[in-house]
A and B are shown apart, each in its own frame.
Chain A
């Protein structure tokens, strides 16, 4: 069909390019999917003009069916740029695709005028025009999704890096406050950063605090035990702290064996054990001895804000 009658779409596009642009932009501006809050009218005009120009040039090759052909490369390039930009700006997929689909009405109007009474030719060309615009529209959606996914992947990576800080509590004592669910991939990151930090700081004790871990199942417990075993191989002891009552129940119900690991209910308890192991003694500074000096500092050479053992232990 298309071979018999030469398509007049390229011709129409070329002849009426400026009128088409005007009508197309008007169409987009009146559309309900217009996001004037996200994009300025001038930008929209500029994008439309650019696209229509490249589209017109690409159709001049006479190829309206195979979009993988070389003539369409520039059009696709522009579309990916526009889609990625709109995805970042917060457009929805439908709003992005409407950019292409809204070209249909002005183009079809022109084709109808051009063909006047030639129904066969009109139908043939309408089909060609609609199929090529549909393809371009779908392409925008795909590109839009791809750029969205890129954003998600990047955010996931950032999140997993953000949520695995290893902090130094004291000389020779590291803490790893875990927040969020533990999966295999995250455990790997956690394990690596903890072991790396152990080497860097030469710490003999690491406290893994799981207060922020919402669910502990057999897999998570397995991951924790692996981390503890790896740290032990390097010569550092691990203390697991922040075990909530429900989690303690779950661990016992699941039959997870935590006998070889030191576990404590709170981070404070774990720190107390760590101090004991490293031979650090923490006590309240004598207040009455010197009123002008600050409350930190004592004669044993260890500075602390307030007594953590002694007084605190009784509360817990």
Chain B
């Protein structure tokens, strides 16, 4: 009995997973972990929104007429899509860009200075999140004409 249990344990080692889906809500991810996953998420989001970004580049630059089209989309919308939706997408782009930018600078700083201790990791993670969010909110308020 005892032997067979031992054999079982030997033949079936416990499987350790990183994190089960159900644990996601209660798992307290450290700040550096948040920067890491947000870095990836913002990158993927910008990849998906790339056509929108190039469309803005195209219409805003090509001619005065297309520039008018570009500003109109954010003023009155296009077709059935309201203007606030375009502003929201633009805001998502701005936020993703700033977060990706700050997280990237953090990486470059760590590479250049070999600053790899725990305290710097935590502190710089908060700076990256805080700075990018503040800037995004400031630019977002401007986008939604709050000032």
Q: Do A and B come from one complex?
A: no
Residues of A whose CB lies within 8 Å of any CB of B are none
Residues of B whose CB lies within 8 Å of any CB of A are none
